[in-house]
């Protein structure tokens, strides 16, 4: 028994073993961190996609109604001709606000409450008196969306910014391209979280529809981007009527 010899690891072998183990551990941790980052990016992109699709669907529902007017029993004269931009009944226009890309703003109107006029019910049977609008609260049926300072905004027309007794020229001005620079707009998204990089409205099919393109990214994660689009038929305009 005394002749048996025992051999252990040398210091060099031990150091190599520890180095290899440390390297493998670093590889595993790095791969785990990569997977975690990928998962977080995937969740963030899903969040961005959900928000932009929600905004796009909101635009689609609203713009599709442009020019809608209801038939109201007992109404002798509506005020639609005061707001329509031409003899064909155009109720929507495309423009842009100052320092914004072309075709990044859309303005329109439609009869939300179904009273046959733009605005709230008038006391009488007409929404026009002496060539002027006589319906109240016309601001509630004037709409718009625009790109401004990397954010998509919705029009919030205030009573103080418009005349309730406007004549045709002034009534029409509320949905003409110049109104894209008016006051009363509010962000549709949190500008500290999202940045809208593109928003365009383009007429298609001889004006019978509008193609909307929307793109955005996260403010703190600009590499996470998403773009989408939609074609909106204008069912209350031109040949559709």
Q: Look at residue 171 and tell me whether its pLDDT is greater than 90.
A: yes
Q: Which two tokens stand for residue 199?
A: 């928003």
Specify the pLDDT at position 238: 61
The rounded distance, in Å, linking the Cα atoms of 75 and 195 is 46
The CA-atom distances, in angstroms, between 139 and each of 81, 104, 111, 235 are 16, 22, 11, 22
pTM, two decimal places? 0.82
At 157, give phi and psi (nearest 5°).
Answer: -75, 125
The rounded distance, in Å, linking the Cα atoms of 41 and 57 is 24
Residue pLDDT, tens place only, 48-64: 999 999 999 999 999 99
Specify the pLDDT at position 167: 95
Residue pLDDT, tens place only, 101-127: 999 999 999 999 988 999 986 667 899
Residue pLDDT, tens place only, 13-47: 767 777 777 777 787 777 777 777 778 889 999 99
| Mean pLDDT score across all residues of the chain | 88
Q: Which two tokens stand for residue 107?
A: 């303005």
Residue pLDDT, tens place only, 26-35: 877 777 777 7
């Amino acid at each position: 028994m005394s002749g048996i010899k025992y051999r252990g690891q040398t210091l060099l072998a031990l150091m190599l073993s520890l180095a290899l183990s440390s390297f493998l551990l670093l590889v595993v941790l790095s791969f785990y961190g990569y997977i975690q980052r990928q998962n977080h990016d995937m969740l963030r992109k899903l969040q961005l996609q959900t928000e932009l699709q929600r905004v796009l669907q909101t635009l689609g529902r609203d713009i599709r109604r442009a020019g809608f007017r209801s038939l109201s029993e007992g109404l002798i004269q509506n005020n639609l001709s005061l707001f329509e931009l031409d003899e064909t009944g155009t109720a929507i226009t495309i423009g842009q606000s100052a320092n914004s890309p072309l075709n990044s703003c859309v303005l329109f109107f439609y009869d939300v409450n179904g009273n046959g006029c733009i605005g709230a019910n008038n006391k009488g049977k007409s929404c026009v008196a002496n060539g002027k609008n006589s319906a109240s609260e016309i601001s509630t049926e004037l709409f718009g969306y625009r790109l401004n300072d990397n954010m998509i905004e919705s029009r919030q027309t205030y009573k103080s910014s418009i005349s309730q007794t406007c004549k045709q020229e002034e009534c029409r001005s509320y949905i003409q391209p110049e109104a894209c620079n008016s006051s009363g707009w509010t962000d549709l998204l949190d500008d500290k979280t999202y940045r809208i990089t593109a928003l365009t409205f383009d007429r298609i099919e001889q004006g019978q529809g509008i193609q909307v393109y929307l793109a955005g990214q996260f403010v703190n994660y600009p590499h996470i981007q998403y773009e989408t689009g939609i074609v909106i038929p204008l069912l209350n305009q031109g040949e559709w009527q």
